[in-house]
Amino acid sequence: MDMLLIGGLWLNASVWERVASAVEALGHRPVPLTLPGQGDGAVSATLDDQVAAVLAAVDAAPGKSMVVGHSAACTLAWLAADRRPERVATVALIGGFPSTDGQPYADLFEVRDGVMPFPGWSPFEGPDAADLDQEGRRELADAAVPVPVGVARGVVRLTDARRFDVPVVLVCPEFTPEQAQEWINAGDVPELARAKHVDFADIDSGHWPMVTRPVELARILAGAADAP
């Protein structure tokens, strides 16, 4: 199965290199995506541009794909299910949850000169970054691409209720499956509360398991892709 890998804020396709190698060894075809505005130099990119890039990858696959979103890009993966429910076999969400219709995509940090730069490690101290050593932090920060304001403040639009029929695998890194289920039950994640098939996968990592636990993450994703 084609496995489309979408990194969260500030990340380009290179963050998936070790996961991609492991996924390929497990019999699937990894397709890491570099999103418009996050590695291609398009500082005027919008959320619609990023959605279009994901949909182009879905449409280019020979059959149904697994669409994998990390962090904020969980919403991009969910938007793919909304736009192409008949072409998405499974949505895998890593360390994040899909936004609801009408919300801004990721208006989370200060915008300067038309972009939202990586804010440093202070906002991520604690479980998010606990398993990242100094070298890992430096590599991520050095590779971080400022996110265009048109992406960060783009408005999410969900229109097709068939997205709730697409199976979801929620990969839980810095939080537990039990915590995630509590949030869903409490109404904090309304999109997943309406999804008909949600499975949980625990991974002992911080917010960036593609960096700190790539082989384990690949096994989780391949297992979900192989599930009947």
* Tens-digit pLDDT profile for residues 38-70: 988 889 999 999 999 999 999 999 999 999 999
Amino acid at 187: G
Task: Give the span between the Cα atoms of 39 and 14, in whole angstroms.
Answer: 9
pLDDT of 177? 98
Mean pLDDT, the chain, integer: 97
Q: What is the 8-class DSSP label of residue 98?
A: P
Q: What's the number of CA atoms in the CB half-sphere (13 Å) around residue 196?
A: 7
Per-residue pLDDT at 79: 98
Q: Which of 167, 24, 29 is nearest to 88 (CA)?
A: 167
65 φ/ψ angles, rounded to the nearest 5 degrees: -115, 155
**pLDDT tens, position by position, 87-117:** 999 999 999 999 999 999 999 999 999 999 9
What is the pairing mode between strands 29-33 and 198-202? Answer: unpaired
Q: What is the DSSP letter of 194?
A: H
> How far are the Cα atoms of 15, 30, 58, 83, 127 from residue 21, in angstroms, in the given order?
12, 8, 20, 29, 26
Nearest Cα neighbor of 15 from 86, 77, 75, 68 is 68
The pLDDT score that the predictor gives to residue 176 is 97
Site of tokens 């130099």:
41
Residue with structure tokens 């440093």? Answer: 120
pLDDT, one tens digit for every residue, the chain (228 residues): 999 999 999 999 999 999 999 999 999 999 999 999 998 888 999 999 999 999 999 999 999 999 999 999 999 999 999 999 999 999 999 999 999 999 999 999 999 999 999 999 999 999 999 999 999 999 999 999 999 999 999 999 999 999 999 999 999 999 999 999 999 999 999 999 999 999 999 999 999 999 999 999 999 999 999 987
Q: Token pair for residue 212?
A: 């700190």
The dihedrals phi and psi of 69, each to the nearest 5 degrees, come to: -120, 140
Helix axes 17-25, 214-226, angle to 10 degrees: 50
Q: 3-state DSSP call for residue 6?
A: strand
Look at residues 196, 193, 180, 27 and name the one whose alpha carbon lies nearest to residue 96.
180
What is the percentage of the chain residues whose pLDDT exceeds 70?
100
pLDDT of residue 41: 85
What is the percent of the chain with per-residue pLDDT over 90, rounded to a whole number?
A: 97
Show the tokens assigned to 54.
Answer: 């994901």
